[in-house]
Structure 1
């Protein structure tokens, strides 16, 4: 209802007074017009729809619209107006019990907020502030792989990256500590040492693996010194010459001494060239390197082992210690040769870094060759054309290093490479812009910067040669659509799936999230109390057994052990092992990633991520879901039964597990996941000192409440009600899925209530299928906007800013017009001013 006429007159008088004061001071004509529009058109809308909660002394949510010193001050509150715009668009405001804002007024208010307080200029859109950011661990590893041709385990060498807004691509949180800088220096040296050949020619070398000896595809063959062994392989020689054969075998012994011994023999072309008596000696290598001259053909190599101690001498296993043992680890052999100089060949990776057949002998020629190598390497490593000053400094370093004792041209180049990999221009994504005559216009990024943004967005690595060549010719922008299609078809785009979807949908966490399967199932069956009592009994028996053993009370030990065995037989899950194992968790992760990848590469609708009649399953995951007719370990697209509750991410095992607690479901976490990741309307953080749900789970008679009952108590508290009214209906719609993501009908032995509910915006649903359908119909625009904001955040490496509203709106319009095609989302972001431009540095 509209406020009283008297209040309206008083309020308008107050605003007119503010306008009169504003007119006494200089103001831009546009600002004066915006204030006038506010008085004439916007203030009445706020009076009718907002002031009953956020004006006239009301400050629900600690938000007021009529307590600022002037209208100009009110218009400067960008954060407030972003909040207003977001809430009216999502239907959160006005509340459902109030009348909706008429469509015409809604359009006026939305347009004014974007134009006046937020100052969004369609003619010169602001791309937002982007922080210079370093490569995260995934990007560094992939870039080293593509630049240097080796795999460098950043997850083992570097500390974990911090995250912001849900992603590890955010420049503001990717800090660089002195310790990390030191690690980057060490990494540069290690990478160059492993990747860059230090000689122009080496003697050929190849492995003769175990599988050629045994027909088993094993890395090594383990044989006890109590067992005989006799294995052989044929070595094919295509070039006559001298060869060196190196045996690869090691003795491994347990901590406890083992008396086992054996006689080992190594035969080359029928002749025994090595004999050794083996015994307990952990880590002892069999040292055999034998040279032989061979013509073309095939020659046998053979390894034998004869036990010298019978198995009857093998020590028995001691209780609690495991059996002593001594084994031989046989890994095959290495063939080096021909050793003659004329057969020397280029080392691995040589052509990657040294394109010419030979190194020039004169100093001028070597300097020019060094410049050629380093100019190309620096351009690729820095992801933009190398400046000649840098090339000259690095070339001088390479040539001087080559002159040092023990130096070579290759060693000098390697040292220069180390300096490049330790440079901030490699570690950080630096971007240049095109010249812009008008200082008020936000300049376009140059095409090299666009190439980097594209490649790190879709591949999490450096640009490839095609992107470089297009950028060099200034033709990348003309071919964006074709290049995006090419990049998404490339297997490198799997990185986009793993890193964006893996963080947005939290699939990265499912393989490590703590879930106690036994407790979860006991809770569902209403057996928690019995289980706790059993566990306490087992702990008591174990303590008493330890104490009796210390006191040498043999008879008592036997009695207690018998009681423990009886307990295990009675409560051993009838021989069924309860697990939420690694292979099942992996299948859950892959289900989400494979559906995302499928829709991405087939240009399907992003709505299919929420509501779908198919999903990716293997036999194990299908059994977990109760989907019949799926056999084998391969994941494939499966049409779900018509009555299935599955289909879409919110009923996938990965999302259900990561939004649970270790021993129970969490409707709060599940509701928050939907609000934050699908609707883009997360509630504020919980106030401090709120009691946990567990504290509300006991009834006065000592019985356990269901989660639905415990949450109802939370909603009765004023501090909790507003947020729980938004989260709980969504989370409770998923209560038929336990913490492991499998279906259940009971919790704590009690039949679960129907999973019906109502969105905070008023739309009712009967079950999770209707909830999913609401998300892709009535709340479709909210989902489009949320997904666009998430992807824009990931791609730009910064959080949402007010200037992004126009970009998001444009992408949402494209999604609406194409029924949600993935290409509309990806290209909409890539072609946006936020992706194509950089915020001007001067006004």
Structure 2
């Protein structure tokens, strides 16, 4: 009976694979096909496994394997108790089906590491542990070949929005922003990763937006209207004083030789760009623009540097910043600042000086209107004779600013910018206007091969060529008809998806598939000509792979990997998810939040560029900071604007990722720190272990009663963790978060926890704890030291995160041998970051389907 059911399930699985492959082998043909989930097969496997569990368990009840489970595991994970939502007695013993392999792998890891059984339970002997671990490991490995053979024949991984953006740029030299409202749908996240294939489905709303995106991309690539770059320069006199003729006469009358300057102050937005400065603009003028301005800043004594935001206006005092930077240049030493930004034309941008010092601006409309009036002339803080004595004061009698302000001399915009390299990507794509129709197929094939990232057979293009012929017969020009065919190529599943595999089962990737996997791993985009050439010649499956990987690691496009991987690995999308309470944290502002979010990325960039050992993620005597972060952390102000390497001392209470404001803030709720969430983050990001979800209907931690003694969050958690259903998980999570109790909800150092209600003084912070394996620590410094003792585990987890990102899927127990090989290779080079990335790129795991 069982054999017949397994044979039937295998036949259904094979038939389904052929059906899916048949669907996937065609283009969308105007109607995009959503990949069908294999619900039927999985249901059958569940039925089969369920039927076999009791029989298998009975047959092997006397085996040492089952005896160990009965003696040491079922008591907490059986019918009487179900800690962590895990029932050992219900796990499938059919290791070839592998339905519960991940649970068995987790059990193997916990027993092998000594985490299970818990310390308060009877402990097995070393011989019993060795026998159990050996037996379970053998069972998992025995089923591996069957599980690998059962994988679907064709694997599809949809491009994320960021990857789509990079790909159309590298394909056609066109800038397109898929994050704009109304463009591509938001990517579904899995533990911060936005490129996991099983999460990125395709719905009808996606299809419509892909057609729209393809239209925009082709419009910009082959615009009928020329949009040559222009330079527009506006001086302070033009921006602020309508040319400044009257104001200049005033300066001449007083004998003042300094030029007019534009005083930008908090509380009012000012015009920074109008589309009409470039004449009549339309969508064809959208693209990359370079902004240059000369400015300096005035800051109050002890205050923060002036911060300028340039973007679209969102309110009377705010803008949605496209360009953000601190202005540290002094009044008498203005500096030229330069940025490049993508602009959708037509558009209007505004300046906004962000109020970060909390000083009363004596605000309101009267204040803003008085300072903005053209009768308020400004050249220099020392020229008080020009200042209207009836207007609100901007400076004290010594010329010190009362709050941070920006002094603007001029601003210049240039664009839309296009490089020769960008234009070259479009050369020869369109057939000549007078080309015969028989020339078109070859042009389309060349374009499709680059877009689909593989060789293309002419019969695959027949549908798109038919569209070309229909358009030509309807009277369209060859160029317009060809654009319809190109749109089909760009909306095909071959472009939108990375396709790995074919109907014939095979273990390894082809050269072309490997080229794409490498390029989307290290560049978040399509292969370049070098990778295409290596794939054509067969060099990737051999000695040429190392040469190509080394080239890719030194290419400028590696910056995409640095930005994308660090952001996803560390779950930085959560920074600012719960905005801090302004009453509790008045110094927190948007620029601080943006700076916090950038710090881990810049830190990873420096670690990668200098090939530092992985220890730096845990502890270091430096960080990457800008002026805003230096002010927040109490560090010496940097020598120039932007992020730079800053030295740390023990008194700074920083160093490594774990004590960065972003990490400490993303695990808080806006009012208080959350040790449990911090512990979960450490478990996931540093050890790649996701704790089980909390039981349903767990009571939240209540605010401190007004008549009770003030209690810390930790003290309240201790009472909560006494609950039997919660205690097991909290033992492994809480210590990882308690280590950082000396940092509040936004990452500020403290010695006492501020408790709003209750009697007595604010309680002292207790950052001590005991690691799950029994090692004690007193604070975050000792906790980091213990993590360094576990550097092999930390390195292994980092490798697993890299492989999840590179393979675009969740790792399984079947990947363990390959992961171990990567780990051994990385250890030879002292776990240096760039070397680890290289080891992953060159690994056997990267070459397998």
Please say if 1:95 is aligned against 2:118. yes
Query: How far apart, in 1, do the equivalents of 2:429 and 2:809 lie?
Result: 43
Find the partner of 2:704 among 697, 705, 722. 697
Please say if 1:473 is aligned against 2:537. yes
Structure 2 partner of 1:723:
729
Structure 2 partner of 1:819:
830
User: Is the partner of 1:735 in helix, strand or coil?
Assistant: coil
Give 1 or 2 for the bigger CA radius of gyration.
Answer: 1
Q: Map of 1:603-642 to 2, 5 A cutoff?
A: 603-628=611-636, 630-642=638-650
**Are the aligned partners of 1:197 and 1:347 in contact in 2 as well (CA < 8 Å)?**
no
Structure 1 partner of 2:456:
386
Deviations 1:776-812 (A, max 9, x none): 21x3343233323322222222223232233333333
Find the partner of 2:797 among 774, 782, 786. 786
Structure 2 partner of 1:148:
172
806-815 vs 458-467, greater mean Cα deviation = 806-815
Please say if 1:710 is aligned against 2:716. yes
Query: How far apart, in 1, do the equivalents of 2:596 and 2:532 lie?
Result: 37
Report the CA distance shift for 1:228/1:404 in structure 2 as closer, same or farther (over 3 A): farther
Report the CA distance shift for 1:59/1:704 in structure 2 as closer, same or farther (over 3 A): closer
Deviations 1:297-318 (A, max 9, x none): xxxxxxxxxxxxxxxxxxxx98
Structure 2 partner of 1:166:
192
Find the partner of 2:426 among 349, 353, 365. 353
Report the CA distance shift for 1:320/1:721 in structure 2 as closer, same or farther (over 3 A): farther
- The CA deviation at 1:178 is 0.9
Q: Map of 1:53-72 to 2, 5 A cutoff?
A: 53=76
Structure 2 partner of 1:773:
785
User: Is the partner of 2:645 in helix, strand or coil?
Assistant: strand
**Are the aligned partners of 2:232 and 2:414 in contact in 1 as well (CA < 8 Å)?**
no
Query: How far apart, in 1, do the equivalents of 2:149 and 2:240 lie?
Result: 65
Query: How far apart, in 2, do the equivalents of 1:708 and 1:487 lie?
Result: 47
Query: How far apart, in 2, do the equivalents of 1:68 and 1:667 lie?
Result: 32
Report the CA distance shift for 1:189/1:704 in structure 2 as closer, same or farther (over 3 A): same
User: Is the partner of 1:210 in helix, strand or coil?
Assistant: strand
Query: How far apart, in 2, do the equivalents of 1:127 and 1:754 lie?
Result: 52
Q: Map of 1:9-20 to 2, 5 A cutoff?
A: none
Report how many aligned residue pairs link the two structures.
637
- The CA deviation at 1:644 is 4.2
Report the CA distance shift for 1:89/1:626 in structure 2 as closer, same or farther (over 3 A): farther
**Are the aligned partners of 2:633 and 2:652 in contact in 1 as well (CA < 8 Å)?**
no
Structure 2 partner of 1:111:
134
User: Is the partner of 1:616 in helix, strand or coil?
Assistant: strand
468-477 vs 221-230, greater mean Cα deviation = 221-230
**Are the aligned partners of 2:96 and 2:142 in contact in 1 as well (CA < 8 Å)?**
no
- The CA deviation at 1:174 is 1.0
Structure 2 partner of 1:427:
496
Q: Map of 1:391-470 to 2, 5 A cutoff?
A: 391=461, 394-395=464-465, 397-398=467-468, 401=471, 404-405=474-475, 407-432=476-501, 442-470=506-534
Deviations 1:731-754 (A, max 9, x none): 121111112212112222524234
Q: Map of 1:297-336 to 2, 5 A cutoff?
A: none
Query: How far apart, in 1, do the equivalents of 2:736 and 2:228 lie?
Result: 60
- The CA deviation at 1:474 is 0.8
User: Is the partner of 1:634 in helix, strand or coil?
Assistant: coil
**Are the aligned partners of 1:600 and 1:822 in contact in 2 as well (CA < 8 Å)?**
yes
Report the CA distance shift for 1:386/1:476 in structure 2 as closer, same or farther (over 3 A): same
Query: How far apart, in 2, do the equivalents of 1:690 and 1:207 lie?
Result: 60
**Are the aligned partners of 1:147 and 1:381 in contact in 2 as well (CA < 8 Å)?**
yes
721-730 vs 170-179, greater mean Cα deviation = 721-730
Structure 1 partner of 2:687:
679
**Are the aligned partners of 2:192 and 2:570 in contact in 1 as well (CA < 8 Å)?**
no
Deviations 1:325-354 (A, max 9, x none): 999xx999999xxxxxxxxxx999765334
- The CA deviation at 1:119 is 2.9
Report the CA distance shift for 1:357/1:702 in structure 2 as closer, same or farther (over 3 A): closer
Structure 2 partner of 1:259:
none
Report the CA distance shift for 1:122/1:652 in structure 2 as closer, same or farther (over 3 A): farther
Report the CA distance shift for 1:76/1:801 in structure 2 as closer, same or farther (over 3 A): closer
Find the partner of 1:137 among 131, 151, 161. 161
Report the CA distance shift for 1:743/1:769 in structure 2 as closer, same or farther (over 3 A): same
User: Is the partner of 2:135 in helix, strand or coil?
Assistant: helix
Report the CA distance shift for 1:745/1:395 in structure 2 as closer, same or farther (over 3 A): same
- The CA deviation at 1:48 is 6.6
- The CA deviation at 1:113 is 1.8
- The CA deviation at 1:99 is 7.2
**Are the aligned partners of 1:433 and 1:444 in contact in 2 as well (CA < 8 Å)?**
no
**Are the aligned partners of 2:753 and 2:765 in contact in 1 as well (CA < 8 Å)?**
no
Query: How far apart, in 2, do the equivalents of 1:774 and 1:333 lie?
Result: 52
Q: Map of 1:243-392 to 2, 5 A cutoff?
A: 351-355=424-428, 359=432, 361=434, 363=436, 367-368=438-439, 370-391=440-461
Query: How far apart, in 1, do the equivalents of 2:109 and 2:423 lie?
Result: 57
Query: How far apart, in 2, do the equivalents of 1:649 and 1:116 lie?
Result: 38
Structure 2 partner of 1:798:
809
Report the CA distance shift for 1:722/1:57 in structure 2 as closer, same or farther (over 3 A): closer
Report the CA distance shift for 1:827/1:210 in structure 2 as closer, same or farther (over 3 A): closer
Query: How far apart, in 2, do the equivalents of 1:477 and 1:159 lie?
Result: 36
Report the CA distance shift for 1:427/1:326 in structure 2 as closer, same or farther (over 3 A): farther
Structure 2 partner of 1:85:
108
Deviations 1:571-590 (A, max 9, x none): xxxxxxx3322332233222
**Are the aligned partners of 1:451 and 1:463 in contact in 2 as well (CA < 8 Å)?**
yes
Please say if 1:737 is aligned against 2:743. yes
Report the CA distance shift for 1:124/1:809 in structure 2 as closer, same or farther (over 3 A): farther
Query: How far apart, in 2, do the equivalents of 1:55 and 1:399 lie?
Result: 67
The TM-score normalised by the length of structure 2 is 0.66
**Are the aligned partners of 1:128 and 1:801 in contact in 2 as well (CA < 8 Å)?**
no
Query: How far apart, in 2, do the equivalents of 1:384 and 1:67 lie?
Result: 46
Please say if 1:192 is aligned against 2:198. no
User: Is the partner of 2:736 in helix, strand or coil?
Assistant: helix
User: Is the partner of 1:430 in helix, strand or coil?
Assistant: strand
Please say if 1:483 is aligned against 2:490. no
**Are the aligned partners of 1:248 and 1:332 in contact in 2 as well (CA < 8 Å)?**
no
Report the CA distance shift for 1:76/1:790 in structure 2 as closer, same or farther (over 3 A): closer
Deviations 1:590-635 (A, max 9, x none): 2211221222233322232122222212333123223346443332
Structure 2 partner of 1:663:
671
Find the partner of 1:181 among 202, 207, 222. 207
- The CA deviation at 1:510 is 2.5
Report the CA distance shift for 1:611/1:123 in structure 2 as closer, same or farther (over 3 A): farther
User: Is the partner of 1:133 in helix, strand or coil?
Assistant: strand
- The CA deviation at 1:448 is 0.7
Gapped runs of 5+ residues in structure 1?
A: 1-31, 231-245, 251-316, 336-345, 521-577, 839-843
Structure 2 partner of 1:496:
561
- The CA deviation at 1:392 is 5.3
